[in-house]
Structure 1
Amino acid sequence: MRPNTFGRCTALTLATAVAACSDHGAPTQLHPGLAAASFEQAQNQVDGAEFGFTAGWLQGTTVQFFYHKPFFCRTPVEDGNPVGSSTDCELGSDGTADPRPGNIPTLFVMTPIGFRPAEATLQCPIVGHCINHPSTIDLSRVFGAGTENAPLPAHSHIVDQAEGNWWELDVVGVKDRATWDQIVAGKSLATVRALQAADPSGAKITGDIPTNVYLFFDVRPGSSNP
């Protein structure tokens, strides 16, 4: 759960996102020639969770996220509507249950809508699979009926602080390659905020869309791409 913050997605922004998706094809569609997986994993497990890594972006640099606990999604969610995914995870409403008390930092999930960016710029490139992420998510609050149990879209990650614990997810939809490329070059929340401020109608980038999803990882130094 979180207070209202900058860039909450308006109805107009959500409608634009849906239109962008329908105009250019499903954002969760796998393209041929998928590159190698975005994570390394060990055989050790805790509560069914893998141990392993993805890349992430922090204040202009590439860092490593080390995962070692399962994701957390609980219902009911704030809007009171049902959640249709097999994982109980959804996009479009804040949750009502946190995995721990106190302030929880935000992981911003950069998600291409209606196009597939360069493979090397996706930190979780495999649709429906990324280490200790939910495999499915209810997208129907944003994309409408028929997306209640969608595979998790390919995406990349931005954080604005180096922490090690639970992270609450906000999704930012990116609607064209030029905007995506600016985010990849900037590798920072400041870049995202500047792009959002320059595009108040949400034609190229959405505001922050809440979820009921939490991931557990540590931010570690790293320089691997993307």
Structure 2
Amino acid sequence: MCRNIGVTDGWYEGKTIKFLYTQNFFCDPAVASGAPSKCEAGAKYRNVPPGTTSDKFTDPLYIPVPLFKPAPKTLQCPANVPCVDHPTTIDLSRLASALKMPASALKNTELPGHDHIITDRNNNRPEWWPVYVVAVTDPGSFAKIQEGKSFDTVKKLAANPNSGVSQPIPTNTFLWFQTLPGANSGAPSRGDAPAGGIAAGEGGTQTVRNAGLMGAGALLALGSIGAFIHSRRKSSTDRA
């Protein structure tokens, strides 16, 4: 049975699009975490989520995180506001030296506010997305990322050691969502009904932010989408 359904904004190749979440996050328990969510940043996952045979059937999700105050007011997932099917806490102790804080104070940290960037839409099909953190200490650089809305912008800034933008930092965390077609998505409009089905989730339970989407969720066929998604290897012809 589906657990939570909701949407956030995300960026893809300079455009703002919608992510539809239909199951809870997964954090690989093989990587140690001091947070109840079992999620951490600083070490890459060892195992992919259940139902996925390989990470070749996933696409990365980059989350730029502003590490300065005041934080931007336009974050897609603001701090102190639960983001649908995201963990509420995370272990950041592996980043203690970079954050200039004691590791003991970072083992169970509230999930920081952030934005979302993807580099492939998987033809608007749902899949698991491994999370990579992009730490940003310079407000001007963060403004450039929000303006560019693309991973290309992140790469260009991260290549400059004075930009205050880190290279992507691996985590043990995966989110499950699909991109929605529509007028602002950069894809042909085919209505708002999501493609594919809903699979039961693994991980913690979060608060549904958009209860109205339960109506849209009812339009989906219940059952496992994993076999459908993971039975094929994505090639260049699959890319949106």
TM-score, normalised by the number of residues in structure 1? 0.72
> Which one-letter code corresponds to 2:43 in the other structure?
S
CA shift, 1:149, in A, is 0.7
- CA–CA separation in structure 1 for the residues paired with 2:33 and 2:160: 33
* Corresponding residue of 1:188: 150
- CA–CA separation in structure 1 for the residues paired with 2:60 and 2:88: 20
Identity across aligned pairs (percent)?
36
TM-score, normalised by the number of residues in structure 2? 0.68
- The alignment status of 1:198 with 2:124, answered yes or no, reads no
Note if contact 1:128-1:135 (Cα within 8 Å) is conserved in structure 2: no
- The alignment status of 1:93 with 2:8, answered yes or no, reads no
* Corresponding residue of 1:157: 116
Secondary structure, aligned partner of 2:4: strand
CA-atom RMSD in angstroms: 1.7
- The alignment status of 1:125 with 2:85, answered yes or no, reads no
Note if contact 2:44-2:171 (Cα within 8 Å) is conserved in structure 1: yes
Matches within 5 A, 1:49-128: 49-77=3-31, 82-99=32-49, 100-102=52-54, 103=56, 104-120=58-74, 122-127=75-80
* Corresponding residue of 1:40: none
- CA–CA separation in structure 2 for the residues paired with 1:116 and 1:94: 29
- CA–CA separation in structure 2 for the residues paired with 1:125 and 1:208: 20
* Corresponding residue of 1:216: 176
1:89-134 deviation line (CA, Å, top 9, x unaligned): 00000111101113111000110012233312x0001336210001
* Corresponding residue of 1:145: 104
Secondary structure, aligned partner of 2:83: coil
- Who wins on radius of gyration, i.e. which is larger? 2
Note if contact 1:128-1:151 (Cα within 8 Å) is conserved in structure 2: no
- CA–CA separation in structure 2 for the residues paired with 1:178 and 1:114: 11
Dislocated runs of 4+, deviation >6 Å? none
The structure whose residues are more often strand, as a share, is: 1
Note if contact 1:117-1:180 (Cα within 8 Å) is conserved in structure 2: no
Note if contact 2:68-2:139 (Cα within 8 Å) is conserved in structure 1: no
Secondary structure, aligned partner of 2:24: coil
- CA–CA separation in structure 1 for the residues paired with 2:81 and 2:109: 8
Equivalenced residues, count? 171
> Which one-letter code corresponds to 1:171 in the other structure?
V
Note if contact 1:169-1:212 (Cα within 8 Å) is conserved in structure 2: yes
